[in-house]
Amino acid sequence: MASATDTALVSEDTTETEAVAAGAVGLAAVLFALSLASVFELVTITDPVAGVPMVALLGGLLVVLGFAVVTFGVGSRLGYVATDPRPTAGLLASGTFGLIWFVVGGLVASQTLGLGTAGWVVASLVTGGAAFAVSAAPREDIGSTLPAGALAVFAGVVFLTGVIGPSWVWDLGWEQQASFNAEFTIPVLTAFCSLLVGWAAAKAYGGFGARGRHIGAYVLVYLNAISIIALLFLLVAFTVLKGLPGLFKGLALGAGAGPEVTLVGVTFSLPVSWPFVMNGVALLNDVNGVLPAIVGTIWLVVGAVLFAVPLGIGAAVFITEYADRGRFTQVVEIATNGLWSTPSIVFGLFGLAFLVPRLGNRKSLLAGMLTLGFMLLPLVVITSRESMLAVPDEYRDASAALGVTKWQTVRSIVLPAALPGIVTGIILGVGRIAGETAPILLTMSGSVAPPGSQTVDVLGGFQLQSAPPFVTNPELMQATSALPYQLYSLITAGVGESSNISAIDEFRWATALILLVVVLGFYAVGIATRYYFRSKLQHD
Amino acid sequence: MNVLPDSDGAGLRATARRGLRRGRDFVDETPPDALVTVTVAAVSLLAAFAGFLAVSSLTAIPFAVFLVATGYGWLRHQELTARVLTLTTTVSTILVLGLILVFIFAEAWPTVQYATVNVFGVPIPGLRLFIETRWSPVTPPIQYSLVPMIHGTVLVTIIATAVAAPLGVAAALFLSEIAPRTVRELVKPGVEILAGIPSIVYGFIGFTILSPWAADQFDILGQGTYLFVGIVVGLMALPTVVSVAEDALNSVPESMKSGSLALGTTDWQTMTSITLPAAFSGVSAAVLLGVGRAIGETMAATVMLRGSPGLTKPLYNVFYGNDTLTSLIAANYGDADGLQLSALFVAGVILFVTVLFLSIGSQYIEARMRRKLGGAE
Q: How far apart (Å, rounded) are the C-alpha atoms in residues B339 and B345?
A: 10
Tens digit of each residue's pLDDT, chain B (377 residues): 444 444 556 667 887 888 788 778 877 777 778 888 888 888 888 888 888 888 877 788 888 888 888 888 888 888 888 888 899 999 999 999 999 999 999 999 988 888 888 888 888 888 888 888 888 887 778 888 889 999 999 999 999 999 999 999 999 999 988 888 888 888 888 888 888 889 999 999 998 888 888 888 888 887 888 999 999 999 999 998 998 898 888 888 888 888 888 988 888 888 888 888 888 888 988 999 899 989 988 888 888 888 788 888 788 888 888 889 999 998 888 777 788 889 999 999 999 999 999 999 988 888 888 787 765 44
Annotated domain spans of chain A: 9-88+138-171+179-238, 253-278, 285-539
pLDDT digits (tens, 9 = 90+) for A68-82: 888 888 888 888 877
Percent of chain A with pLDDT over 70: 91
Residue B151 pLDDT = 92
Lowest model confidence (mean pLDDT) among A288-302, A303-317, A367-381, A441-455: A441-455
Q: Which residue of B has its CA nearest to A316?
A: B90
User: If you average pLDDT over residues A148-171, what whole number do you get?
Assistant: 85
pLDDT, residue A263, reads 66
Of A181, A318, A349, the CB nearest to B329: A349
Residues 31-50 of chain B whose Cβ lies under 8 A from any Cβ of chain A: none
List CB contacts (< 8 A) between A410 and chain B.
82
**Interchain pair B326, A437: CB under 8 A:** no
Whether residues A210 and B356 touch (CB distance < 8 A) is answered with no
Phi and psi for A53 in degrees, rounded to 5? Answer: -60, 150
Q: What is the pLDDT of residue A13?
A: 53
What is the pLDDT averaged over residues A229-251?
Answer: 86
Torsion of CA B334, B340, B344, B345, to 10 degrees: 110
Q: Degrees (nearest 5) of the Cα angle A411, A412, A413? A: 105
Which DSSP string do the residues of B148-174 spell out, in sequence order? HHHHHHHHHHHHHHHHHHHHHHHHHHI
Angle in degrees, CA A328, A329, A332, rounded to 5: 90
Query: Which of B272, B248, B249 has the alpha carbon at shortest distance from B365?
Result: B248
pLDDT at A111 exceeding the cut of 50: yes
Write the pLDDT tens digit of every residue in A168-222. Answer: 788 777 777 788 888 888 888 889 999 999 998 888 888 888 888 888 888 889 9
**Arithmetic mean of pLDDT, A246-270:** 72
**What does the radius of gyration of chain B's CA atoms come to, in whole angstroms?**
27
Task: Give the chain A residue nearest B77 (alpha carbons).
Answer: A407
> What is the three-class DSSP state of A268?
strand
Q: Which run of H or E residues covers position A472?
A: strand A471-472
ipTM metric:
0.89
Answer yes or no: do B79 and A407 touch at CB < 8 A: yes
The dihedral sign for the CA sequence A207, A210, A211, A215: positive
Mean pLDDT of the region A293-321: 90
Using the beta-carbon criterion (under 8 Å), do A342 and B356 form an inter-chain contact?
yes
d(CA B97, CA B123): 30
Arithmetic mean of pLDDT, A228-244: 89
**What's the pLDDT score for residue A6?**
45
For residue B143, the distance in angstroms to the closest alpha carbon of chain A comes to: 21
Question: Virtual CA dihedral for B60, B64, B67, B68, nearest 10 degrees?
Answer: -170
Q: Which of B104, B269, B296 has the CB atom closest to A344's CB atom?
A: B296
Local confidence band at A351 (pLDDT 50, 70, 90 cut-offs)? very high
Say whether residue B201 is in contact with chain A using an 8 A CB cutoff. yes
pLDDT in tens, A399-423: 889 988 888 888 888 988 888 888 8
Q: State the distance between the two ends of chain B, measured CA to CA, in whole angstroms.
A: 28
How far is the C-alpha of B107 from the C-alpha of B117, rounded, in Å?
20
Cβ-contact A478, A365 below 8 angstroms: yes
pLDDT for the residue A9:
44
Provide the 8-state DSSP code for A43: S
How far is it, in rounded angstroms, from Cα B308 to Cα B328?
9
Residue of A nearest to B353 (CA): A342
Q: What is the pLDDT of residue B165?
A: 93
For residue A265, pLDDT beyond 80: no
A178/B218 touch (CB, cutoff 8 Å), yes or no? yes
SS (H, E, C) A146-186: HHHHHHHHHHHHHHHHCCCCCCCEEECCCCCCCEEEHHHHH
Cα distance between residue B181 and residue B202, in whole Å: 30
3-state secondary structure of A252: strand
Decide if pLDDT at A257 tops 70.
no
Contacts of A330 in chain B (CB under 8 A): none
DSSP A480: B
CATH superfamily of A285-539: MetI-like (1.10.3720.10)
Asked if A230 and A487 touch (Cβ cutoff 8 Å), the reply is: no
User: How many helices and strands (H and E) does chain A possess?
Assistant: 20, 10
- pLDDT at residue A233 greater than cutoff 60: yes
What confidence category does residue A1 fall into, taking pLDDT thresholds of 50, 70 and 90?
very low
Q: What is the mean pLDDT of chain A?
A: 83
Residue A321: predicted pLDDT: 87
User: In this predicted structure, what is the pLDDT of residue B287?
Assistant: 92
Cross-strand bridge partners of residue A40: none
Residue B215 contacts A where some CB pair is shorter than 8 Å: no
Whether B200 sits inside 8 A of A437 (CB atoms) is yes
Give pLDDT, residue B336.
76
Q: Is there a contact between A348 and B317 if contact means CB atoms under 8 Å apart? A: no
- What is the structure's pLDDT at B106? 92
Do the Cβ atoms of B289 and A183 come within 8 Å?
no
DSSP string, A320-334: IIISPSSHHHHHHHH
Record: contact A345-B218, CB cut-off 8 A:
no
Q: Determine the average pLDDT of the residues in A87-114.
A: 86
pLDDT band at A513 (very low <50, low <70, confident <90, very high): very high
A258: left (phi > 0), else alpha (psi -120 to 50), else beta?
beta
Q: Say if residue A156's pLDDT is above 80.
A: yes
What number is the average pLDDT over the span A470-476? 74
B317 to A488: CB separation less than 8 angstroms, yes or no: no
